[in-house]
Amino acid sequence: MAQTRREVLSLYKRILNTARKWNSVSGDSTECKIEKQYIKEETRMLFKRNKEVTDQEEIKEFIREGETRLELALHYRTPYPRPVNIPQSTLPPGNFKMKKAQKRVIEQSKPIYIKSYKDNT
């Protein structure tokens, strides 16, 4: 348990340090400030939302998600999550409600780096 706590706090610190040192690709200072603020707010919101999680496997999953998002942000030089590609065959036509199987396929198609987001689909 203590080891997991250290991992979580280390990840939190790494993300906030990244936010502090973040430079926008465009070099625009306004955009840079917006991206830094986004990283800080997103980090605080997600860590706060999941602070009551006690299941070790779920915590490890969230740590893996955080590390993945951090690596993607550094690699692609954008702090925002990359969009999800959902197979077109799973989307309902028009204004029809989604069936359980469609919702399951959409949930399974989400990449690891956005599992923390709970959709109201």
Q: Where are the domains of the chain?
A: 2-76
Residue 19's alpha-carbon distances to 32, 61, 70, 82, 101, in angstroms, are 10, 22, 10, 18, 39
Q: State residue 121's pLDDT score.
A: 40
47 vs 41: CA distance, rounded Å = 10
**Alpha carbon distance 37, 31 (integer Å):** 10
Rounded-to-integer distance, Cα 64 and Cα 59, Å: 9
Predicted pLDDT of residue 118: 60
User: What is residue 1's predicted lDDT score, i.e. its pLDDT?
Assistant: 79
The pTM of this model reads: 0.74
pLDDT at 99: 75
Whether pLDDT at 29 is above 80? yes
- Mean pLDDT, range 14-36, rounded to an integer: 95
Q: What band does 103 get if pLDDT is binned at 50, 70 and 90?
A: confident
